[in-house]
Amino acid sequence: MQENERKENQVAGATQPSPISQLTHISQPFERVLIIGVGLIGGSVAAALKSLEVAPQVRGIDVSAHAIESALRVGYLDDGVLSTDESVTEWLDDAETDLIVLATPVSSAAEWFERIEASGYLGAITDVASTKGIITEQALALLSNSDRYLPGHPMAGSEVNGIEGARANLFAGAHWILCPDAGSDPAVFLRIHEFVTALGARTISLPREQHDSVIAIVSHVPHMIASALVQLAGSHAQTNREIFRLAAGGFKDTTRIAAGSPELWCGIALDNREAVAQGLHEFNEIISSFEASIKRSDARALNGLLGDAARLRKSIPSTWVPDSSRLVEVRIPMANRSGVIAQVTGMAGRAGCNIQSIFIDHINEATAILELILTDEGDIGQFSSLLIKDGFDVAFRPLMPQE
């Protein structure tokens, strides 16, 4: 709450409002955004923001003059400076900035948390890092207002590195993970949720402690495997120069991500080394099963392995390609207690449900109705069961009748 608002409440004899009573549905969540790190993801965030019908002011900070100059030239930024520029301190201290997006490597996060803390900045903070273990620990240790920090992770990328790969539609239809916890400011969660959906992304909530192990399997390990496949083909290229020319679409699609930045992916893998190493160990065991069945000419075993994979793969599209015209409203009465937003959105994430929008219908100082709009992604039945099991009353209503 701003200082003048606090004084007005004190003069009027008002009691300090509860966390729930402060929540509102915000149509324009942020008016002045500062992006630290104007590379592929940070640059794409800036580009997407400037493409909105009502665009906020967007400023950027980066270690590269080329990145700043490029982003300014194409109109992704209204202003930009190098991280060593004296004006950075003033920008961090700017009371009108209401969101900082930290889009640097995890190795640089601690320095920026320290600089943000020293500036006295009181607005919302999020990040776009691919791992959450290290960066969330640093935020909790270094930020006195860590409840205003909401970890984020857009599941989007490009084989084109840096600002050259940035584009306004990078996040369209992509999942963007948010990781609230019991200490998260619910008002910040609502604003950043709306910020993410404004960029075209579909939000999924995951507990911070689960993020890295889950993402290792679906993102980090696949990147290592794609790189290994390219190395395998490359090891045969010297004796058969046609091998890459003969590589079919499947090989190109499977290995496209191997063209990503080696420095970036080395950092990601080492930041998440335990989960990535465990995933690679499990993958080696699966590959060994394929190898053994082929060596033995065991058609039954090989058919089983291939069949299991085919059935699993065919089941995926129904969970990741939603029909945005089929929406469901969920109304959840809830008490005013710490962590309820993280609890409910976490259950939606576990059920694979995408929350298209979220807002609060206030009842009184102690209670409110949490209203969610879901797409047809995920298992709404499982989400309902999780809510009921945790003691919530819940009502579902299709917003468009099924034909």
Q: Does residue 127 sit in helix, strand or coil?
A: strand
CATH 3.40.50.720 range(s) for the chain read: 17-206
pLDDT per residue as tens digits for the range 84-131:
998 999 999 888 899 999 999 999 999 999 999 999 999 999 999 999
What's the rounded Cα separation, in Å, for the pair 46 and 166?
A: 9
Residues contacting 293, CB < 8 A, separation 6+? 301, 302, 305
Pick from 19, 8, 116: nearest CA to 365: 19
CATH 1.10.3660.10 range(s) for the chain read: 215-315
Q: 11-20, 26-35, 75-84: which has the minimum mean pLDDT?
A: 11-20
Which tops the pLDDT comparison, 40 or 158?
A: 40
Q: What is the dihedral of CA 357, 358, 363, 369, to 10 degrees?
A: 100
Identify the CATH assignment for 328-397 out of 3.40.50.720, 3.30.465.10, 3.30.2130.10, 3.30.360.10. Answer: 3.30.2130.10
Which tops the pLDDT comparison, 395 or 307?
A: 307
Alpha-helix runs per DSSP H in 173-298:
186-198, 208-215, 221-237, 243-246, 249-255, 262-271, 273-295
What's the rounded Cα separation, in Å, for the pair 178 and 185?
A: 13
Q: What percentage of the chain exceeds 70 in pLDDT?
A: 89
Q: Which CATH architecture has domain 215-315?
A: Orthogonal Bundle (1.10)
Highest mean pLDDT among 257-261, 285-289, 381-385: 285-289
What's the rounded Cα separation, in Å, for the pair 316 and 350?
A: 15
pLDDT per residue as tens digits for the range 197-249:
899 898 888 888 889 999 999 999 999 999 999 999 888 877 777 777 777 67
Which tops the pLDDT comparison, 375 or 236?
A: 236
Looking at the DSSP assignment, which residues form a beta bridge with residue 204?
Answer: 177
Q: Note whether 199 and 364 are within 8 A (CB).
A: no
Query: Taking residues 64-68, what's their average pLDDT?
Result: 96
**Considering the chain, what is the average pLDDT of its residues?**
85
pTM (two decimals): 0.78
What's the rounded Cα separation, in Å, for the pair 298 and 302?
A: 6
374 pLDDT above the threshold of 70? yes
Q: Does residue 100 sit in helix, strand or coil?
A: strand
271 pLDDT above the threshold of 70? yes
Looking at the DSSP assignment, which residues form a beta bridge with residue 152?
Answer: 178
Domain 17-206: give its CATH superfamily.
Answer: NAD(P)-binding Rossmann-like Domain (3.40.50.720)
Q: Note whether 133 and 272 are within 8 A (CB).
A: yes
Query: Taking residues 332-357, what's their average pLDDT?
Result: 81
Which tops the pLDDT comparison, 15 or 278?
A: 278
- What's the CA angle centered on 256, arms 252 and 262, to 5 degrees? 140
Q: Does residue 361 sit in helix, strand or coil?
A: strand
